[in-house]
């Protein structure tokens, strides 16, 4: 009979990525340089990201009776010790949250589990989204 017991305490570093797939709803807006159409606290419109498992997404904004859609592809990347979601839109649209004026957005999940954009670091509003499903 052979018995081998190991007392090693080598823990493997495991990165557990949150489940990004599904729908995220805008729940809070903040900012330092907030244009007049933003109000700190509750959003003045409804907005959603819906991330699909085929690496595509749809962004929807609902203002009163107007719905605006934008879509494209996303990739999950490691950047500055955070997991980011890099969005690339198919075409220009007013609901793209980027201060660079291009077809991309950079999002990440903060310590509270809310999806947020890096846009606020460049004088944009702080937009925070909660996972719906």
CATH number of the domain enclosing 76? 2.40.128
Residue 1 lies in a domain: no
pLDDT higher than 60, residue 119: yes
Q: What is the pLDDT of residue 11?
A: 36
What integer is the mean pLDDT of 117-133? 80
pLDDT tens digits along 33-86: 544 344 555 567 899 999 999 999 999 999 988 999 999 999 998 877 778 899
pLDDT tens digits along 22-34: 999 998 888 755 4
Kindly report the pTM of this predicted structure: 0.76
Residue 46 lies in a domain: yes
pLDDT tens digits along 62-74: 998 899 999 999 9
Residue 15 lies in a domain: no
pLDDT higher than 90, residue 13: no
Residue 16 lies in a domain: no
The domain total for the chain is 1
More confident residue, 121 or 46: 46
Residue 74 lies in a domain: yes
Look over the chain and give the mean of its residue pLDDT values, rounded to a whole number.
79
Cα separation, 70 vs 58, in Å, equals 6
Percentage of the chain beyond pLDDT 70 is 74
The answer to whether 111 and 82 are in contact (CB under 8 A) is no
Q: What is the pLDDT of residue 64?
A: 85
Residue 112 lies in a domain: yes
Residue 32 lies in a domain: yes
- Exposed / middle / buried, residue 59 (Cβ in 10 Å: 0-12, 13-18, 19+): buried
CA–CA–CA angle 109, 123, 118 (5° rounding): 20
Residue 5 lies in a domain: no
Q: HEC states along the chain?
A: CCCCCCCCCCCCCCCCCCCCCEEEEEEEEECCCCCCCCCCECCCCEEEEEECCCCEEEEEEEECCEEEEEEEEEEEEEECCEEEEEEEECCCCCCCCCCCCCCEEEEEECCCCCEEEHHHHHCCCEEEEEECC
For residue 34, give every residue at least 6 positions away whose Cβ sits within 8 Å of its Cβ, in sequence order, or none: 40, 125
Q: What is the pLDDT of residue 118?
A: 80
The domain containing residue 30 runs over which residues?
22-131
């Amino acid at each position: 009979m052979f018995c081998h017991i190991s007392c090693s305490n080598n823990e493997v570093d495991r990165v557990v990525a949150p489940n990004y797939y599904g729908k995220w709803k805008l729940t809070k807006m903040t900012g330092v340089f907030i244009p007049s159409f933003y109000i700190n606290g509750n959003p003045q419109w409804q907005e959603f990201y819906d991330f699909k498992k085929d690496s595509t997404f749809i962004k929807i904004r609902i203002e009163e009776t107007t719905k605006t859609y934008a879509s494209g592809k996303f990739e999950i990347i490691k950047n500055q010790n955070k997991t980011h979601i890099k969005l690339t839109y198919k075409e220009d649209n007013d609901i793209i949250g980027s201060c660079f004026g291009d077809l991309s957005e950079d999002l990440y999940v903060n310590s509270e589990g809310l999806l947020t954009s890096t846009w606020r670091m460049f004088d944009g509003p702080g937009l925070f989204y909660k996972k719906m499903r």
